[in-house]
Amino acid sequence: MSSNSNRSIGRAFAFRLGLWYAGLFIVSAVALSAATYVLLARALAAQDHDVLQSMLSRYAVEYQRSGLAGLQRVIEADAGQGRHEGLLVRVVDERTEAVYFAAPPGWGEFDLSPLDAPSVSASGWATLGGLPDGAVLEVGSVMLPYRVMVQVGRSSHVRDELLGRFRARGLEILALIAVAAVAGGFLLTRAALAPLRALESTVRSILQTGQFDARVPIRDSHDPLDELGARVNEMLERIQSLVSGMRGAIDNVAHDLRTPLTRFRNVAEAALLTTDPERAREGLAQALEEADRVNATLTALMDISQAETGTMALALQPVRLGQVVDEAVSLYADEAEDRSIVLRSTVPHDLRVDADHTRLRQVLANLVENAVKYTDSGGRIDISASAGDGVVALNVRDTGIGIAPEHLPHVWDRLYRADASRTTRGLGLGLSLVKAVVEAHGGRVEVTSVPQQGSTFTVMLPTAAVPIEGTTPGTRHPVSGFRTTGTGHPSAGRRHPARR
Ligand code: ADP
């Protein structure tokens, strides 16, 4: 899909989302305005009623105190002071004849006969429609002794006008809110989706170029999308280093396989061409050896993956650690001696661990080989062990080149090689095999190192639960079968990664 169509899809999505937000916002604004309108209308109506009610109460008190004449006096005094402006004031006697009547101009022709209905005097309130200005007349009545009734009415005109203005302004404001909500919703959604668009464009660029060097821009806002971008960047970082590590390893593997394969071809060809049966036999034996090396290199790669995925078959049994250490040491004793490196084991012979003998020898062979490989002539390698809390800790300490702190956490990674080791032969598979095999035994590994002073690799394994004498049968773990062709076997070749 082209980036243009992606962008327009992104815009359409932002617009749709913005529209949803705007819709919700507008609905809320309308609901709020409607509620305000209703409350305001009620408050105004209640206020009008209160005004009428207080006048009626005053007139009733006056009537009771001074009779009809007194009532008339007060009403006329009120009228004189302009208190009846905009009001209908009516006093009717027991014959329903108006004793007093005052109304705003224009209301004269208005039919007030419904106000004499018994229901009006009973309920105290009546509403008449059809005022000249289209408003309604709200009238409060109070029945006094001797069937004298006082009525005070007021047009809803002022209130209606106020509410009408409120409606008109309210609609204008709502229209503005709607426009602002749609535009704001769209802009906000676009801004909120910007990190996702950046993420999408990073992924797209990786897909298009096949290179893992693109990164999601981080805004340091620490919001969840920023965090997501940071995690994606970390993931890309790891993928990138894994991919480049694997590329390097494939090159290494190809390089390491080509040499024995070429030798294999040469000796096989020479054996074929020779007429001397003795030389032909010798050639075939050499060819076999080369084939074994290739096979062992490939097996090392498969072993790691089996140990890491938990499918490695382990024949667990109580194993004398000292004996296995001696076997591994004997593999490298000559090389150590050649380079004047002191290689010494002080592992007590009665220490036992629950392990697969062949795999454990493979682990130790890798650690001792590394120690010899990364220690300069005249150095020293000490292998010691101690037991406690059901765990045996085995240390392989060397006085070699050491490992820089930035490399230290990675040395167990598959295919990882520290810069300092580039000049030495290796695939970066040895320690990952050590770790995978030890963890498959339920143990763990540790390393401490000081550059130019040396390293100590520690392997921790569970102590054997049963004594060695009266040998217990090996536990098959897992049940998929026990492979006897361990690459750590001394016959697998000493100075070649194939022994791994
Ligand atoms: P390699 O085949 O490169 O030896 P390993 O997996 O055995 O691969 O080791 C990984 C890296 O750890 C090595 O490349 C090296 O940089 C470092 N390393 C391992 N053992 C030692 C040691 N004893 N001293 C210094 N560096 C070591």
Cα(406) to ligand 1 centroid in Å equals 14
Residue found under tokens 């709607």 = 178
**Rounded Cα–Cα distance for residues 468 and 471 (Å):** 5
pLDDT at 117: 77
Cα 428 vs. chain centroid, distance in angstroms? 33
Cα(324) to ligand 1 centroid in Å equals 21
Record: fold of 2-161? Beta-Lactamase (3.30.450)
Q: Return the best residue to mutate from 410, 413, 417 for the ligand 1 pocket (most ligand atoms within 8 A of CB).
A: 417
Q: Is the dihedral of CA 325, 330, 331, 336 positive or negative?
A: positive
What are the beta bridge partners of residue 353? 319, 463
Listing from the earlier edge strand, what are the strands of the sheet with 342-345?
A: 342-345, 380-388, 391-398, 454-462, 444-450
Q: Which residues contact 378 (CB under 8 A, 6 or more apart)?
A: 339, 340, 341
CA distances from 484 to 288, 306, 315 (A): 19, 15, 9
| Residues in the chain, total | 500
Cα(390) to ligand 1 centroid in Å equals 29
Q: Do β-strands 352-355 and 314-320 pair in parallel, antiparallel, or remain unpaired?
A: antiparallel
Instruction: In the chain, list all ranges with CATH 3.30.450.
Output: 2-161
pTM over 0.75: no
pLDDT at 6: 61
pLDDT at 165: 95
Q: Where are the beta strands (DSSP E) in 287-346?
A: 314-320, 342-345
Residue found under tokens 């409606």 = 167
pLDDT at 36: 94
Record: fold of 224-308? Helix Hairpins (1.10.287)
Instruction: In the chain, list all ranges with CATH 1.10.287.130.
Output: 224-308
What are the beta bridge partners of residue 385? 394
pLDDT at 226: 87
Q: Is the dihedral of CA 398, 403, 405, 409 positive or negative?
A: negative
The residue whose C-alpha atom lies closest to atom 13 belonging to ligand 1 is 417
**Rounded Cα–Cα distance for residues 150 and 54 (Å):** 12
Q: Any idea what the Cα angle at residue 460 is, between residues 402 and 385, rounded to 5°?
A: 75
Cα(192) to ligand 1 centroid in Å equals 47
Taking only the tens of pLDDT, the chain with its 500 residues reads 455 556 666 677 778 888 888 899 999 999 999 999 999 999 999 999 999 999 999 999 999 998 888 998 999 898 889 888 888 898 988 887 888 888 887 776 777 778 777 777 777 888 887 776 778 889 999 988 888 899 999 888 889 999 999 999 999 999 999 999 888 888 888 888 888 888 889 999 999 998 888 999 988 888 888 899 999 999 999 888 778 867 776 776 777 678 778 989 999 999 999 999 999 999 999 999 888 878 877 887 788 878 877 788 899 999 999 999 999 999 999 999 999 999 999 999 889 999 999 999 999 999 999 999 999 999 999 999 999 888 999 999 999 999 999 999 999 987 677 865 566 776 677 898 999 999 999 999 999 999 999 999 999 998 876 555 444 333 333 322 222 223 333 333 333 333 33
The residue whose C-alpha atom lies closest to atom 12 belonging to ligand 1 is 411
**Measured from the CA of 428, which atom of ligand 1 is nearest?**
8
pLDDT at 9: 61
Q: Return the best residue to mutate from 252, 421, 500 for the ligand 1 pocket (most ligand atoms within 8 A of CB).
A: 421
**Measured from the CA of 497, which atom of ligand 1 is nearest?**
2
At the fourth CATH level, the homologous superfamily of domain 316-475 is Histidine kinase-like ATPase, C-terminal domain (3.30.565.10)
Cα(454) to ligand 1 centroid in Å equals 12
Q: Any idea what the Cα angle at residue 453 is, between residues 448 and 457, rounded to 5°?
A: 30
Report how many helices (DSSP H) and strands (DSSP E) the chain contains, helices first: 8, 13
Which residues have any ligand 1 atom within 6 Å of their CB?
A: 370-371, 374, 398, 400-403, 411, 416-418, 420-421, 426-432, 455
Instruction: In the chain, list all ranges with CATH 3.30.565.10.
Output: 316-475
Q: Return the best residue to mutate from 364, 380, 403, 412 for the ligand 1 pocket (most ligand atoms within 8 A of CB).
A: 403
